[in-house]
Amino acid sequence: MKRRPFIKKLIQSTGGIYLASQSSLLYGSNFGTKTKGLGIALVGLGGYAGGQLAPALLETEHCYLASIVTGTKEKESVWAKKYNIKKENIYNYDNFDAIANNNDIDIVYVVLPNSMHAEFTIRAAKAGKHVICEKPMATSVEDCKKMIAACKDAGKMLSIGYRLHFDPFHDEIMRIGQNKVYGEMNVASEFSFMLKDPKRWRTQKDLAGGGPLMDLGIYALQGSIYSFGELPTSLWAKNTTIDTSFFKDIEGSLEWELTFPSGKSYCKTSYEKPIYAELKHNTEKGEVKLENAFYYGGLKGSTPDGKMEIKPVNQQAQQMDAFALNIIENTPSIVPGEMGLRDNYLIEKIYESADDNSKIIQLNDIPNILDIRRIK
């Protein structure tokens, strides 16, 4: 379950700006004990959990790594020693439901292959825990609805791992695009890298649910929506897979166009091209661009006025601290389950168009979920 380790090698996240608490208190389980915030259980100890989330939890102010859930016995002692995790806070996928009796755990972070997101989100909610679920939220709209319902029935919050909503470069992209700082615009976005290993779960449809659209394309999709601050009204898509002998069950490459009330966005994603990530606004007054746009760090931004002078942050630490504060202060997540549902809906429509000769699809029944924030 390695998650883009090559990005980790290329880019090292730097720095960390913490969200300020409105209180000087430290919160523990049930807010009764003085610990380092709310306890998080990481479910799935692959490359992303080990390379990004766990290290980020050493920097967070309002939450900490309290528990691990893994199907690999050998990882238990390694993680327990490295992160000082109590033996009773180590679980596997079979005894996972016993977390219901563990007051050290407040939040479950699901970091499993896509097809397992729904099961463990629902089980976590039934165990009485708040949930962060990695993107894509699930492999179907129906599963997304079940996940949202389970969390609501349990009275628990559900957030999706959209880390870029907590990155200041993307905040600036939102501000510029939503306020039309440089006039009317169209958007172009691409996220690609080479992945042709049949043993990797991302190339297996039963685990991934699809190809690069489910994994990388969702960033371009999200970037388009929050650049305009609007929901798309129609789309068309084209399967542009080159190696059809390898990519039989999933797409290897895909392109699509979204039409918004105030412009268009053309997006590309691929497992067949060298690593590349860009989000660009083509405006009346020139180009606004984010290079390395969807990486964990190393982002570079420019506008018609020059370079964006922005201090980088640890995206994962920001994201998890923000959710912890949502729980503590009873405020809504800016990346709720409903946003994940919306994006899964769009993914299904993109696949539908690609499978039907790039048919133009009207999005009349799109879930009406926009970013809660309007960047002024």
CA dihedral 19, 13, 207, 277 (to 10 degrees): 110
**What angle in degrees, to the nearest 10, is found between the helix axes of 337-355 and 141-154?**
170
Confidence of residue 288 (pLDDT cuts 50, 70, 90): very high
* Confidence check: pLDDT of 311 > 60: yes
List of long-range contacts for 204-207, beta carbons under 8 Å, 24+ apart: 204/249, 205/249, 205/250, 206/115, 207/113, 207/114, 207/115, 207/116
CB of 144 within 8 A of CB of 341? yes
Residue with the two structure tokens 């649910």: 209
pLDDT of residue 201: 95
Q: Determine which one of 27, 219, 271, 351 is catalytic.
A: 219
Q: What is the pLDDT of residues 11-48, one digit of tens each?
A: 333 222 222 222 222 333 333 333 579 999 999 999 99
Catalytic residue status for 9: no
CB of 365 within 8 A of CB of 344? no
* Confidence check: pLDDT of 65 > 70: yes
Q: Determine which one of 135, 156, 280, 349 is catalytic.
A: 135
- Cα distance from N-terminal residue to C-terminal residue, the chain: 39
- Could you give the CA distance from residue 188 to residue 208 in angstroms, rounded to a whole number? 25
Q: What percent of the chain has pLDDT over 90?
A: 87
- Segments making up each domain of the chain, as ranges: 5-163, 168-311+337-362
* Confidence check: pLDDT of 7 > 90: no
The rounded mean pLDDT for the chain is: 90
| Amino acid identity at 105 | I
- What CATH number belongs to 168-311+337-362? 3.30.360.10
CB of 211 within 8 A of CB of 243? no
Q: Which fold has domain 5-163?
A: Rossmann fold (3.40.50)
Confidence of residue 371 (pLDDT cuts 50, 70, 90): low
CB of 228 within 8 A of CB of 267? no
Confidence of residue 235 (pLDDT cuts 50, 70, 90): very high
pLDDT of residue 376: 63
* Confidence check: pLDDT of 251 > 80: yes
Q: Calculate mean pLDDT across residues 121-147.
A: 98
* Confidence check: pLDDT of 273 > 70: yes
DSSP of 252-311 = SEEEEEEEETTEEEEEEEESSS--EEEEEEEETTEEEEEETTTSSS--EEEETTEE----
pLDDT of residue 35: 52
pLDDT of residue 22: 25
pLDDT of residue 135: 97
- Could you give the CA distance from residue 1 to residue 284 in angstroms, rounded to a whole number? 44
Confidence of residue 374 (pLDDT cuts 50, 70, 90): low
Confidence of residue 370 (pLDDT cuts 50, 70, 90): low
pLDDT of residue 208: 97
Q: What is the pLDDT of residues 156-207, one digit of tens each?
A: 999 999 999 999 999 999 999 999 999 999 999 999 999 999 999 999 999 9
Confidence of residue 131 (pLDDT cuts 50, 70, 90): very high
Confidence of residue 375 (pLDDT cuts 50, 70, 90): low
Residue among 172, 162, 153, 187 nearest 260 (CA): 187
Name which of 159-163, 337-341, 368-372 the model is least confident about. 368-372
Q: Calculate mean pLDDT across residues 330-357.
A: 96
Q: Calculate mean pLDDT across residues 312-326.
A: 98
Residue with the two structure tokens 């600036």: 172
- Could you give the CA distance from residue 376 to residue 355 in angstroms, rounded to a whole number? 39
84 sits in the region (left: phi over 0; alpha: psi -120 to 50; else beta) called left
Confidence of residue 367 (pLDDT cuts 50, 70, 90): confident
Q: Calculate mean pLDDT across residues 232-238.
A: 97
pLDDT of residue 373: 57
- Could you give the CA distance from residue 282 to residue 159 in angstroms, rounded to a whole number? 31
Catalytic residue status for 135: yes
Q: Calculate mean pLDDT across residues 1-11.
A: 34
Residue scoring higher pLDDT (144 or 4): 144
pLDDT of residue 232: 95
Any residues with CB less than 8 A from the CB of 122 and at least 6 apart, and which? 146, 147, 150
Residue among 123, 71, 76 nearest 100 (CA): 123
